[in-house]
Chains A and B, each alone.
Chain A
Amino acid sequence: MRMDGSGASGAAPRRPMGSTEGGSLLPSGYASPAQDWFEDRIDLNRHLIKDITSTFIVRVSGDAMEGAGISDGDELIVDRALRPRDGSVVIAVLDGELVIRRLRIAPSGVLLVAAHTAYEPIPVPDPDHLVIWGVATRCLHHV
């Protein structure tokens, strides 16, 4: 059902980097030998975003996910279309707020757990009414 909306099928000529063929075959006076090795610059959108229609960037406030490498002030790439699974880092709607936690789905019940000893897991007594706003796919951690 989902199609990749961001996949640019670049028609620009591509050659593997480091390939040596071509240079010696150029006629003299050829304007720019470099253009034969032309390759698009790395575009993070292409590599980090699967579907542009459902991808949003959010900013983290607080330290409850520190242990998962997600710190206060970090930016996250969130895909709203992904199905959350056990272990997903999710943005959940709790008391009208967007809250980041790790989703745990066990036979004993559903939990939203932090990655910091100071924060208790949040039990989800009624998972049918839990609203997951999106699933985090990458953390842009400030080093």
Chain B
Amino acid sequence: MSEHRSSIALVDVNNFYVSSERAFDPSLEGRPLVVLSNNDGCVITRSPEAKALGISMGTPWFRIAGQARDWGLEVRSSNYELYGDLSARVMELLGRYTGNLEIYSIDEAFLTLSGPLDAQHRTGTEIRAVVRRHVGLPVCVGIAPTKTLAKLANRWAKGNPGFDGVCHWDLVPEEHRRSLLQRLAVSDIWGVGARNAQRLNAIGIDSAWDLAAADPVGIRKRFSVVLMRTVLELQGTSCITGHESTGNEQVLYSRSFATPVTTRDAMHQALSTYAQGAASRLARKSLQGRVITAFAATSPFSTGPRSAPTVCVPLPAHTANPLELTRAADRLLPLVEEGVPYIRAGVVVTDLRPAGAQALLPVDGSAPKDTGLLLHDVGRRFGRSAIGLGHAGLKAGSDWTMKRDMLSPHYTTKWSELPVVKAR
């Protein structure tokens, strides 16, 4: 008899941006490919082939642009419209496997799984196959009693072909788990920052194994409640719940309803409240987000109609503006079905960065241009209404602040840019 226990699965898309580009352009398969950050600034995703070339995360594009052709390196600007659409498809699929989906970032979500452990593992394998078949994206699944361990299991599933993309912590032999933990630096554990890692090293705690063996109360006294929770989670006690896991990677605002919401109007109100809640959390942390995901779900135990609509909306620019976030979250409403009892809804803001971290006008690494010339350039490229000064410019709300010279088509969101299939 297999053991029954509720577990947490972390599903994470492998090299999400790179995989999204490849899903529509098979010629990129097997070739070194990098995707650049906003304004084509630096490398934010690398294919394994690009990693093998020695290109590191965060490399400024201008520094490697000269050699790209010699290396056979393919490069793309961030196609947030495409990534947002594929993300929403993945999240909707994941919602079919659990009543409790917590979207953690544009390409990661936690799911609660129940039943026998080997059945949980099979669900993980099925999720991997189904996401690949439906959306064309590779994912890895880590399953464990706690979120922190699920993160670790996911990492191992990714780095170790033997797992075939799915690692269930409880099904890994004890001695194998020990050696995995002993080889993992504390700095690589979810929620342990670089500063904590340094202080931990100073008292002789170097590996995940060391931290798992630490006394939680002692850690709370020397460090913080947050780090104590990490220790408990490493020991198998789940204590990071949805509402708390708002690190600096995402801001989640989600609630279960006391009475089910059955109308679009009521859902509209709920989403507005949550989007504003997320906006004030962002403001409090001096952060801005680039992508907002809104979702709603019916009860997994309901025998009636089930529905789990999700939208993922890339914003024109980083923002913490409650109005913009609310308007974006409202894009969920057309997918909300009248008369269906929703018990939960929420918004997640991801792709965060410190407020005011970016210049407003496009910067390309060369000498600063005369602003007038720049306005003229942008106006010519994107149409005159695309840019202006002060309010006139801000109200445009299009992506004029971003330089994206190597952008792939908006395959799934623009009728004029559909993928082309050859009848040859």
State whether the Cβ of B26 lies closer than 8 Å to any Cβ in chain A: yes
Contact of A10 among B29, B96, B262, B338 (CB under 8 A): B338
| Contacts A5-B96, A9-B305, A9-B337 given; does A61 touch B134 at CB 8 Å | no
| Contacts A3-B96, A53-B89, A131-B26 given; does A98 touch B422 at CB 8 Å | yes
State how many angstroms separate the Cβ of B408 from the closest Cβ of chain A.
14
B419 near A98: Cβ-Cβ < 8 Å:
yes
A53 near B126: Cβ-Cβ < 8 Å:
no
Contact of B337 among A8, A81, A91 (CB under 8 A): A8
| Contacts A11-B339, A53-B89, A53-B92 given; does A61 touch B133 at CB 8 Å | no
Residues from chain A with a CB closer than 8 A to the CB of B136 are: 80, 133
Contact of B92 among A2, A5, A70, A131 (CB under 8 A): A5
| Contacts A54-B133, A56-B412, A131-B26 given; does A119 touch B419 at CB 8 Å | no
B421 near A80: Cβ-Cβ < 8 Å:
no
State whether the Cβ of B93 lies closer than 8 Å to any Cβ in chain A: yes
Per the bound structure, the CA–CA distance linking A97 and B421 in Å amounts to 8
Interface 1/0 per residue, A57-70 and B, CB below 8 Å: 11111111110001
B424 near A53: Cβ-Cβ < 8 Å:
no
Q: Which of B89, B130, B424 has the most CB of A within 10 A?
A: B424
B134 near A11: Cβ-Cβ < 8 Å:
no
State whether the Cβ of B389 lies closer than 8 Å to any Cβ in chain A: no
A91 near B421: Cβ-Cβ < 8 Å:
yes
State whether the Cβ of A93 lies closer than 8 Å to any Cβ in chain B: yes
| Contacts A8-B337, A53-B93, A59-B418 given; does A99 touch B424 at CB 8 Å | yes
Per the bound structure, the CA–CA distance linking A64 and B27 in Å amounts to 21
Q: Which of A1-48 contact B (CB under 8 A)?
A: 1-3, 5, 8-12
Chain B residue at minimal CB-CB distance from A6: B335
Contact of A100 among B96, B339, B423 (CB under 8 A): B423
Per the bound structure, the CA–CA distance linking A120 and B200 in Å amounts to 68
A97 near B27: Cβ-Cβ < 8 Å:
yes
Residues from chain A with a CB closer than 8 A to the CB of B339 are: 9-11
| Contacts A51-B134, A80-B136 given; does A62 touch B424 at CB 8 Å | yes
B419 near A59: Cβ-Cβ < 8 Å:
yes
Residues from chain B with a CB closer than 8 A to the CB of A65 are: 423
Chain B residue at minimal CB-CB distance from A7: B305
A64 near B134: Cβ-Cβ < 8 Å:
no
Per the bound structure, the CA–CA distance linking A2 and B131 in Å amounts to 11
State how many angstroms separate the Cβ of B76 from the closest Cβ of chain A.
16
Contact of B423 among A12, A61, A131 (CB under 8 A): A61
Chain B residue at minimal CB-CB distance from A93: B26
Contact of A61 among B126, B412, B422 (CB under 8 A): B422
State whether the Cβ of B374 lies closer than 8 Å to any Cβ in chain A: no
Residues from chain B with a CB closer than 8 A to the CB of A66 are: 423
State whether the Cβ of A96 lies closer than 8 Å to any Cβ in chain B: yes
B423 near A60: Cβ-Cβ < 8 Å:
yes
State whether the Cβ of B68 lies closer than 8 Å to any Cβ in chain A: no
B126 near A1: Cβ-Cβ < 8 Å:
yes
Per the bound structure, the CA–CA distance linking A100 and B424 in Å amounts to 8
Chain A residue at minimal CB-CB distance from B26: A93
State whether the Cβ of A76 lies closer than 8 Å to any Cβ in chain B: yes
Chain B residue at minimal CB-CB distance from A3: B96
Residues from chain A with a CB closer than 8 A to the CB of B337 are: 8-11
Per the bound structure, the CA–CA distance linking A81 and B25 in Å amounts to 18
Residues from chain A with a CB closer than 8 A to the CB of B27 are: 96-97
A81 near B338: Cβ-Cβ < 8 Å:
no
Q: Which of B105-146 contact A (CB under 8 A)?
A: 126, 130, 133-136
Per the bound structure, the CA–CA distance linking A131 and B23 in Å amounts to 12
State how many angstroms separate the Cβ of B127 from the closest Cβ of chain A.
11
Per the bound structure, the CA–CA distance linking A51 and B27 in Å amounts to 27
Chain B residue at minimal CB-CB distance from A12: B338
B420 near A58: Cβ-Cβ < 8 Å:
yes
A63 near B423: Cβ-Cβ < 8 Å:
yes
Contact of A80 among B134, B340, B411 (CB under 8 A): B134
Q: Give 14 pairs: A residue, B residue, CB < 8 Å, sorted on A.
A: A5-B96, A8-B337, A9-B337, A54-B134, A56-B419, A59-B421, A61-B423, A62-B422, A62-B423, A65-B423, A66-B423, A93-B26, A99-B421, A119-B424
3 closest A-B pairs by beta carbon, nearest first, are A11-B339, A96-B27, A62-B423
Q: A59-B420, A75-B418, A96-B28 are in contact. List 10 more A-B contacts (CB 8 A).
A: A3-B306, A5-B92, A9-B340, A12-B338, A53-B89, A56-B412, A81-B134, A91-B421, A93-B26, A119-B424
Chain B interface residues toward A at CB < 8 A: 25-29, 89-90, 92-93, 96, 126, 130, 133-136, 262, 305-306, 337-340, 411-412, 415, 418-424
